Homo-oligomer: A and B are copies of this chain.
Amino acid sequence: MDIKIVDVAAKAGVSPATVSRVLNESSSVTSKTKAKVMKAIEELGYHPNAVAKNLRSQKSMTIGVIVPDINASYFAEIIKGIENVAYARKYKVIICDAENQKEKEAEYLTLLMNRTVDAAILIAPLMSDEEICQISEKGYTLAVVGRYIEHDRIPCIYTDNVKFSKEVVQHLVENGHRDIVFLSGYAEAIDSYERLEGYLKALRDYHIPFRPELIENGNFNEEGGYEAMKRLFDKNLHFTAVFAANDEMALGVYKACAERGIAIPAQLAVVGVDNNRISKYITPTLSTINQPKYTMGALLVEKLIDQMNENQFHDKRTFKVDSELIVRGSSNFRRE
């Protein structure tokens, strides 16, 4: 520490520029001088100061990823995908947990604005399209997971929320259900909106009248799902199935059912979204929507890095990936 490039240069009997050259392999250096430099670096225990380097070279070779919650396997898998291809392309990845708070999201976005990272990948369901576009317009490099953005400089990867939500309802209807609860996430989230839309469209397709009292909000977490179900039970409404907008809320449904002695799936069918790891371990196993999380992360950084390096925009910038309904124990039951 406190050893700088000039110290190495002095020790090796060369100029700082030469040391920099061997460090970055930026131009050819005699193998002899290279050896001298390496030796000096070794002996001094020199570590280049990345802050100075980044300031000078105007890049950091790091990508920031902002996620709503690090403790959700859905995001963790996406991050793994990002991490691995970024690593292969010599980029570092730093992960920022916004903990579902807009304030922290903004805080971590400054890492992008203030040039600590070269680009940011946003998984930010609370942020509006406009906000995202504005940041991009200011010249910052962004990519987005989980939604489509109408902006030709922002790579996006997403699944079709409307489509898979229709599939869920279709599956339930085909199993004899007509009174299907929809458990929504927090209202501000784009996913909430789109999944509700799919639910409504499917009902319409089947000519099932929409009953607004069957919509409840569970804020995308277990506790919220639990409370929402309690409210529904208390209202004595008739329903035979629940479509929870994510698996977390479905866990809350399980809990509420356990308390009331309601059997899943015989008395109530349940389907979630995300294919959280828990969904395959819980009893009964939870039907859910699976997305290619790892691939989504991997593909997106790939595009992002290409865009940064080639300094041009590709023809293909947005990717809609397929999701699949995984039918498990919680809904695998034909209602007569």
Residues of A within 8 A of B (CB): 1-2, 45, 47-55, 60, 62, 64, 70-71, 73, 76-77, 79-80, 83-84, 87, 92-97, 99, 104, 107-108, 110-111, 113-116, 138-140, 251, 277-278, 281-283
Contact = CB atoms under 8 A, between A and B. Distances in A.
Given A49-B114, A115-B49, A281-B282, A97 B95 contact: yes
B96 A281 contact: no
B79 A116 contact: no
B70 A99 contact: no
Contact of A97 (B45, B80, B110): B80
A61 B285 CA distance: 45
Given A55-B51, A70-B76, A116-B51, A95 B94 contact: yes
Contacts of A104: 87
A99 B54 CA distance: 26
Contacts of A54: 51
A258 to B, nearest CB: 11
A48 B55 CA distance: 13
A290 to B, nearest CB: 16
Nearest to A103: B87
A285 to B, nearest CB: 10
A45 B114 CA distance: 12
Residue with the greatest number of chain B CB neighbours at <10 A, chosen from A45, A53, A73: A73
Contacts of A48: 114
Contacts of A94: 64, 94-96, 111
Contacts of A79: 70-71, 97
Contacts of A283: 282-283
A263 B45 CA distance: 58
A45 B64 CA distance: 21
